[in-house]
Structure formats: structure tokens, C-alpha cells
């Protein structure tokens, strides 16, 4: 009887750990990195329409509200870093992509990974300063 309790305890402990780790699998990182790369490639190609599709609804809405222009027009007027993703960290449904210059933040939505903030620069002891954010 004691061994059965121990086995159940191990199973109950292992399950949450497995679920926690599954959010940070290489495949999750791959999908987040691909979204970041597509966004950066769209910026480099001056394809603001594709870049806008890769923004979260909130980030796109905030950009349009702040500029008073449609997303594609507003993005064209910004000087966002267009470098490649050099490293990526994923925490469950959120990710941070470090670029050769600047940082992107992404989140997982029902439609896939979307950019929630772009053109972000770190500030000592303060939140990132982002040009586009949701």
C-alpha cells in the first residue's frame, strides 16, 4: 500500500512538471522564432502589410490610434530595427526575441505567434521602451 501512494505522488508531481516544460519545447521556440523572423523580413522588404498581419490586434490597434493612420502607413513612417533574431526566450505563451539591434516581444494567440511589441530598447530599472506595443 505504501508503494502505491509513492507511485501516485510521483505521478502527480511529474505531470505538472511535464506540462510546464512542454510550453518551452524547441517546437514552441521554433514557431515563435519563425514569427519574429517573418516580421523582421517584412520590415526589411518594406512590406508593411505583412508586418501588420504579424502584429497582435492590440498592438496594431494602438499603433493606428496613436498615429491616426492605417497600420501599413503608420509602420512605414517608423524607424524600427530590421535586424535578424539573434536569440529567443520563451515562457509559456510569451517570448522575447533579441535582435541584432533592439527587442521584439511575442505572444501565442489562437491564430499563432504574434508580435505584441516592436522597436523595444531596455532601460535600466524600468520596463522596455517600445515604439509599437500592445
Domain covering 28-133: architecture: Roll (3.10)
pTM of the shown model? 0.78
pLDDT for res 27: 55
pLDDT at position 113, please? 97
Listed in sequence order, the residues at least 6 apart from 36 whose beta carbon sits closer than 8 Å to its beta carbon are: 85, 88, 95, 97, 104, 106, 113, 115
pLDDT digit string, tens, across residues 84-119? 899 999 999 999 999 988 999 999 999 999 999 999
Q: Residues 106, 35: contact at Cβ < 8 Å?
A: yes
pLDDT recorded at residue 29: 85
pLDDT averaged over consecutive 10-residue blocks of the chain (134 residues)?
A: 41 38 57 95 94 97 96 93 91 94 94 96 93 92
Residues 131, 112: Cα–Cα separation, whole Å: 22
Amino acid at each position: 500500500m505504501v508503494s502505491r501512494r509513492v507511485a501516485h505522488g510521483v505521478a502527480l508531481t511529474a505531470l505538472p512538471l511535464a506540462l510546464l516544460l512542454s510550453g518551452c519545447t524547441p517546437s514552441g521556440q521554433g514557431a515563435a522564432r519563425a514569427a519574429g523572423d517573418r516580421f523582421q523580413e517584412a520590415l526589411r522588404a518594406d512590406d508593411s502589410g505583412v508586418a501588420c498581419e504579424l502584429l497582435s490586434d492590440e498592438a496594431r490597434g494602438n499603433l493606428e490610434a496613436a498615429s491616426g493612420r492605417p497600420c501599413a502607413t503608420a509602420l512605414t513612417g517608423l524607424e524600427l530595427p530590421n535586424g535578424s533574431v539573434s536569440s529567443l526566450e520563451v515562457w509559456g505563451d510569451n517570448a522575447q526575441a533579441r535582435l541584432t539591434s533592439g527587442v521584439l516581444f511575442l505572444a501565442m494567440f489562437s491564430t499563432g505567434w504574434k508580435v505584441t511589441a516592436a522597436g523595444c530598447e531596455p532601460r535600466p530599472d524600468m520596463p522596455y521602451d517600445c515604439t509599437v506595443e500592445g
